Structure 1
Amino acid sequence: MSNSVAKYIFLFGILLLLHAAYSAAQHRSYLRLTEQEFTALPADIILQTIFSLLLTVYGVTMVAGDFKEIRSNIDLQKKTWMNLNNRPSFYIFNHRGHIFNPMLLTRTGTGKGALEAN
């Protein structure tokens, strides 16, 4: 089924849900006008609500795309050990360790003489 058809099914389900809500509100106002006690909604409104809910859920699942596996080892089987050990969020590029390395550039110069000058 194409994605555009699934979008129309979803949209139709939402419109039917809104119509069912409007019908329920109209039924309640009718009962108030006729001074009857509210016991339950009519069967046609309940069936319309259930049908539109199922239609909307079906449309959402078709639009959402493919589901992923719940088991995480399926995705991990495709990766090598080098990729598993790579964690870019833990990379630190700007830290105070460069002060202790005499070969790095400092503000006044390079090498050991620059550290002794500070």
Structure 2
Amino acid sequence: MTCQSVMLAGKAIAVVSFLFMLHSGYSAREYLLYSKSIGRQNLSLPIEIVLECLLALAVMTVALVVGVGELKPISYEAEMKRYSIDGMYSRPSFQVFNHRGRFLRPVNNALDTK
């Protein structure tokens, strides 16, 4: 099996397990509404609904881990290998045109005219 088919199968299994989790939530709601309507005070859920939810959660977790694909490195060195030094420092955010150098050495026009 190729990596693409494994990722697709993992995503499909995750969707099916999500539907099972929605079903367990709906079943829990219906059970609690039924219990209140007949006047039962014990509002604990049946073990079948709890197991369905936990099993769907476990299967969905494994399917999402399998279906995510290849992870990218998050180290600084791996990210900086993609850029050259010229590309890093030629960004417009490093170019400053409004600096205070003109105030440090004022131009005196009277001295420049000889």
Q: Corresponding residue for 1:20?
A: 24
TM-score by length of structure 1 reads 0.60
Asked which structure has the greater RCO (Cα within 8 Å, sep 6+), the reply is 2
TM-score by length of structure 2 reads 0.62
What residue identity is the alignment partner of 1:63?
G
Misfit runs of 4+, over 6 Å:
none
Q: Corresponding residue for 1:102?
A: none
* Other structure's SS at 1:66 match: coil
Q: Corresponding residue for 1:114?
A: none
With 62-71 and 9-18 compared, the bigger mean Cα shift is at 62-71
8 A Cα contact 2:35 2:43, kept in partner: no
Is 1:90 paired with 2:93?
yes
Is 1:8 paired with 2:12?
yes
With 20-29 and 75-84 compared, the bigger mean Cα shift is at 75-84
Q: CA deviation at 1:22?
A: 1.3
What residue identity is the alignment partner of 2:93?
F
Instruction: Call closer, same or farther: CA 1:23–1:13 in 2, change over 3 Å.
Output: same
What residue identity is the alignment partner of 1:40?
S
Task: Indicate the percent of aligned positions where both proteins have the same amino acid.
Answer: 21
Number of aligned positions between the proteins: 92
Q: What whole-Å deviation, never above 9, does each CA across 1:62-90 have from its counterpart, x for those lacking one? A: 33332222322222245432233243x63
Q: CA deviation at 1:49?
A: 0.9
Instruction: Call closer, same or farther: CA 1:90–1:54 in 2, change over 3 Å.
Output: same
What residue identity is the alignment partner of 1:7?
K
Structure 1 gap segments, 5+ residues each: 96-118
Structure 2 gap segments, 5+ residues each: 98-114
Is 1:49 paired with 2:31?
no
